[in-house]
Amino acid sequence: MVQGTGSGVGKSVIVAALCRIFTQDGYKVAPFKSQNMALNSYVTKDGLEIGRAQAFQAFAARKEPTVEMNPILLKPSSDTGAQVIVRGKPIGNMTAKEYHKYKPKALSLIQHCFDILERENDIVVIEGAGSPAEINLRANDIVNMSIAKLLNAPVLLLGDIDKGGVFAWIVGTLELLETEEKELVKGILINKFRGDMDILKPGLEFLEKRVNKPVIGVIPYFHDIKIQEEDSVSLSVEKRKTRAAKKGEGKEITIEVVYLPHISNFTDFDALEAEDDVSIRYMGKGEKIGEPDVIIIPGSKNTIGDLLYLKNSGYASQIVEKVRSGKCLLFGICGGYQMLCNTIIDPEGVESKVRETEGLGLLPATTIFESHAQKMTNQVRAIADLEFYKGELAGYEIHMGRTYFANGTIKIKNAFMIFERSGEKVMDNGGAVSSDGNVIGTYIHGIFDNDGFRHAFLDYIRQKKGSLYINENKSEDKNKSGINWDTEYNKLADLVRRSIDMNKLYEIVNKWYVKKKSF
């Protein structure tokens, strides 16, 4: 089990690295996180929703993601509430207090899911959440030390040296653990180191003596490995500015993604960001809209709440003005697609306390959230019917609302027709485009991961700009990302393998295995 001194220290990435390392070494491996709080999610082949990080880790282990890898997913919809998803299906919205009372009921489910993974694999790599030293959460903990104790799992404690104060974090975390919990910690990992190891060594020696635990690895900070971020916490203001600085100047196409308060599945744009001539800026609160070629309104866990944010911040009127003047193209995905409508109605408060509000009015449609309607969580295949692309693509949908278009309207046309949903044949509208082609909306996440669609879309933007450059690298496989994730997993595994004591790591694993078998 990998636990951290706090949130954002790199637990998800290290778990992915270990999954690939153990897989490379010939073991059957699976990731596991009993409870994940994240707005980035993934839909399994059987239509169940799990945290995106566990899907990423499963692919690192060369496994198909399953719901057992993340039995409980929390998707925050406000500062004090979240949608609770159990075994891939939502069971309702709960306040923090309500969920706190629910957690003890979840332990048997967590044990059951872990048992399934354990039977099918040689090694299960477990990820904790936040910090195990949160005293106020200890009584009802179902993701950190309670899980380590329940499963008798050896723990690696991970600290982020780039944040500063890593020695105090590690010592303080261990000091706040109970004796039984402290004994489960078998080693220390330090992440995101940049500098001279000779200067760091005295600190490591002091740390080992102080906590009586071995430091089994120091992982360097890296820039050249593409790893999907776990959640919106990773898109901090500092990181967004870093991305803009790296990608902004001298690029052919500029894209601005609105950084919504409840932004979800921003991994939709990783493939765009990987294109050499594309600059992506995540536009945060208080930042002015520039002169982009494309504005993207991404997915949201609270569509009405985030729409009101756009209106109150002045972004809504600016976006509408730019699109109607023909200055840029607007692309809405999932919640962003719903915001393009004339009206959004939530009569029973499925996502918001606001029952009805006007949308951006760019597509003549109404989106309705109905409590009796099942949440759509499916892998899908669709046909696109756009000026720049007519062909198949694949992706997934995760949404509650349904969008209905006015009868007989001539201002839009169906742009994406879903013909397969979770392996079953269907014929359903998956999005629309305005008559002038400047407004496109879809429920399909991962749409830009389709090489053929992405290249055609970017060429369309280049042509509108009068560019002479057209992408000649058009893949025939329209369902694969332009990023070779397998190569990136291997690069990550190589870096981590070189940076830790593998003999010590396997010693820890083998001791656990022998102890487990003795029961």
Quote the pLDDT of residue 518. 43
List, for residues 349-382, the tens digit of each pLDDT value.
Answer: 777 778 899 999 999 999 999 877 788 999 999 9
List, for residues 447-458, the tens digit of each pLDDT value.
Answer: 999 999 999 999
Which amino acid type is present at position 398?
I
pTM of the predicted protein model: 0.85
Average pLDDT (296-325) is: 94
List, for residues 166-194, the tens digit of each pLDDT value.
Answer: 999 999 999 999 999 999 999 999 999 99
Q: What DSSP element (H or E) covers 42?
A: strand 41-43
Q: Find, among 294, 293, 459, the residue nearest to 387 by Cα.
A: 459
For residues 110 and 143, give the distance between their C-alpha atoms in angstroms, rounded to a whole number: 9
For the chain, give the mean pLDDT: 89
The mean-pLDDT minimum among 260-274, 394-408, 485-499 falls in 394-408
Structural domains for the chain: 2-226+484-517 (3.40.50.300), 234-465 (3.40.50.880)
Q: What is the CA radius of gyration of the chain?
A: 24
Q: Which of 298 and 100 is assigned the larger pLDDT?
A: 298
List, for residues 125-163, the tens digit of each pLDDT value.
Answer: 999 999 999 988 888 899 999 999 999 999 999 999 999
**CA dist 482 to 169, 271, 298, 415, 473, Å?**
39, 6, 20, 23, 10
| Marked catalytic residue, from 334, 341, 399, 455 | 334
Cα torsion through 203, 207, 209, 212, rounded to 10: -160
| Marked catalytic residue, from 19, 113, 341, 445 | 445
Q: Which residues contact 54 (CB under 8 A, 6 or more apart)?
A: 31, 32, 33, 36, 42, 65, 69, 70, 127
Q: Find, among 222, 230, 224, 297, the residue nearest to 259 by Cα.
A: 297
| Residue 445 known to be catalytic | yes
List, for residues 155-168, the tens digit of each pLDDT value.
Answer: 999 999 999 999 99
List, for residues 393-410, the tens digit of each pLDDT value.
Answer: 999 999 888 998 876 554
Q: How confident is the model at residue 512 (pLDDT cuts 50, 70, 90)?
A: confident
Tell me the three-class secondary structure of 197-254, residue by residue: HHHHHHHHHHHHHHHCCCEEEEEECCCCCCCCCCCHHHCCHHHHHHHHHHHCCCCCEE
